[in-house]
Amino acid sequence: MIDQTGSAEATIVQKKAVAEAKGDEAMAVATEKVGTAEASVMGLKFNAEATGIKEKAESMKLFHAAGKEHEEFKLQLNKDKDIEIAAIDAQQNIAEAQAEIVGEALKNSTIDIVGGETTFFDKIVDSIKAGKSVDRFVGNSDVLTDVKNTFFNGDNEYFAAQLRQFTGQFGVSFEDVKDLSVAALVGRLITMADNEDDKSRLEDLLRVFRGAGVASQKVASLGLTDGKQAK
């Protein structure tokens, strides 16, 4: 009887120990899963933060590039404005001198300036060769005589070569300035000239353009290219 009672108690203790062991094992597995889940969540959190920082850096880079482009655009606008203002000032000074010269000449001469066809070369040549009254006018004006001798020798291509000489000298392409007015182009060349001789010749050139009525026209209308005169 006593043996049976001891055996029963031993069986109960054994079952209790097994149950406790299984409970401990289950708790360990649960703890491991909780730890793994927490680590996974932390990993996702860190990845999300890293991605956010990277995207923010890319956005700041794009913002900086856009701001830089805007500043360059503003600088170009200011530069173009300064060039146009310089051209206007040059036109004003030349117009005053020209008005005085023409006023004196008209007191004793009748001058007919023929416009020519469609090109500015014809207008300039016709205005120079309009007749004896124009010849006297040019002959009696030191300024216009210098202009004639500088830019004309009876050949239109010679005049085109003179203009190309200046644009080539200062590295200006007709394609780049085709939308500027003729006066603005010459004004730009005047600001780029580094000696008084070139400045004087360019001012004379602008005076010829104004006299031919082409100063306000677009450079593209002159029919010039960087290689040769357009036919």
pLDDT tens-digit series, residues 93-112: 676 665 565 555 545 444 44
pLDDT tens-digit series, residues 141-176: 554 454 455 444 444 455 566 777 888 888 888 788
78-82, 121-125, 198-202: least confidently modelled range? 121-125
14-18, 19-23, 104-108, 111-115: least confidently modelled range? 111-115
The whole-number pLDDT of residue 114 equals 44
CB atoms within 10 A of CB 183: 22
The whole-number pLDDT of residue 19 equals 64
The whole-number pLDDT of residue 194 equals 87
The whole-number pLDDT of residue 172 equals 85
pLDDT (mean) for 217-230: 66
pLDDT tens-digit series, residues 21-75: 666 666 666 666 666 666 676 767 767 777 777 777 776 776 666 667 777 777 8
Residue 219 clears pLDDT 70, i.e. is over it: yes
> Given pLDDT bands bounded at 50, 70 and 90, which one contains residue 117?
very low
Residue 14 or 105, more confident: 14
68-77, 110-119, 125-134: least confidently modelled range? 110-119
The whole-number pLDDT of residue 158 equals 56
The whole-number pLDDT of residue 131 equals 42
89-93, 97-101, 128-132, 194-198: least confidently modelled range? 128-132
What percent of the chain is predicted at pLDDT more than 90? Answer: 0
What percent of the chain is predicted at pLDDT more than 70? Answer: 43
